[in-house]
A and B are shown apart, each in its own frame.
Chain A
Amino acid sequence: DSGVTQTPKHLITATGQRVTLRCSPRSGDLSVYWYQQSLDQGLQFLIQYYNGEERAKGNILERFSAQQFPDLHSELNLSSLELGDSALYFCASSVSSGAGAYNEQFFGPGTRLTVL
């Protein structure tokens, strides 16, 4: 158990809908990362938040957005869902931002999103 929790575990929804995925980082970790694992694209970095502020952005679609709240939990919002958004979405956390020195990322178990 990494200490990173993600809810829900599974999510099934229809095209065009909007969903919210939730992540609670390990106690004491200030950074949260979101990754998408799909059959087409593999495992790719979406976005990083550090202490409430966006820190780095990867291949995140405009239909997707994220935020980190004062209690440091994070939410990933996916809207206008398409079939291709079906994937496993991972959250990871680390102690700090990683600037200047790498911090190990601890991964949650993921949320499996199925878009029908």
Chain B
Amino acid sequence: AQSVTQPDIHITVSEGASLELRCNYSYGATPYLFWYVQSPGQGLQLLLKYFSGDTLVQGIKGFEAEFKRSQSSFNLRKPSVHWSDAAEYFCAVGPLGGNMLTFGGGTRLMVKP
């Protein structure tokens, strides 16, 4: 069965600092990988996705993620965090040939001024 682990439940960073959110997945083959963001009172918005090819993926809002097969990881990064990035971030995996998403537990990001 596929699973996703986000080891950090909460992270606090200062505005302007760099950010890395960790995601580890368990899956038998190369899955589809995603990062979503959930702002308070909002639905989930897709930040970026990885299907195949270049392991460094660029997304919206200045985010990027790197797929590392050897570590079963898909960490999300941003070089300089803005106060508006405060939200909850979810890593997800989806199987090839299907659309069902399995989500990690989420990481709540707080940004200090």
Chain A residues near B (Cβ < 8 Å): 2, 4, 31, 33, 35, 42-45, 48, 55-56, 58, 90, 92, 94, 97-100, 102-110
Which residues of B have CB within 8 Å of A33? 99-101
Given that A99-B98, A102-B32, A102-B94 are contacting pairs, would A42 and B105 also be in contact in the complex, using a CB cutoff of 8 Å?
Answer: yes
**Contact indicator A107/B45 (Cβ below 8 Å):** yes
**Contact indicator B44/A90 (Cβ below 8 Å):** yes
Given that A42-B105, A102-B32, A102-B94 are contacting pairs, would A56 and B42 also be in contact in the complex, using a CB cutoff of 8 Å?
Answer: no
CA separation between A31 and B98, bound complex, in Å? 12
Looking at chain B's contact residues, is the secondary structure mostly helix, strand, loop, or mixed? Answer: loop
CA separation between A108 and B99, bound complex, in Å? 17
**Contact indicator B43/A108 (Cβ below 8 Å):** yes
Chain B residues near A (Cβ < 8 Å): 32, 36, 41-46, 49, 51, 90, 94, 96-106
Which residues of B have CB within 8 Å of A55? 99
Given that A42-B106, A43-B90, A43-B106 are contacting pairs, would A98 and B99 also be in contact in the complex, using a CB cutoff of 8 Å?
Answer: yes
The residue of chain A having its C-beta at the shortest distance from the C-beta of B102 within the complex is A45
**Contact indicator A100/B97 (Cβ below 8 Å):** yes
CA separation between A108 and B49, bound complex, in Å? 19
The residue of chain A having its C-beta at the shortest distance from the C-beta of B41 within the complex is A109
Which residues of A have CB within 8 Å of B98? 56, 98-99
B99 in complex: contacting residue of A31, A44, A106, CB < 8 Å: A31
Nearest-CB distance from A102 to chain B (Å)?
Answer: 5
The residue of chain A having its C-beta at the shortest distance from the C-beta of B42 within the complex is A109
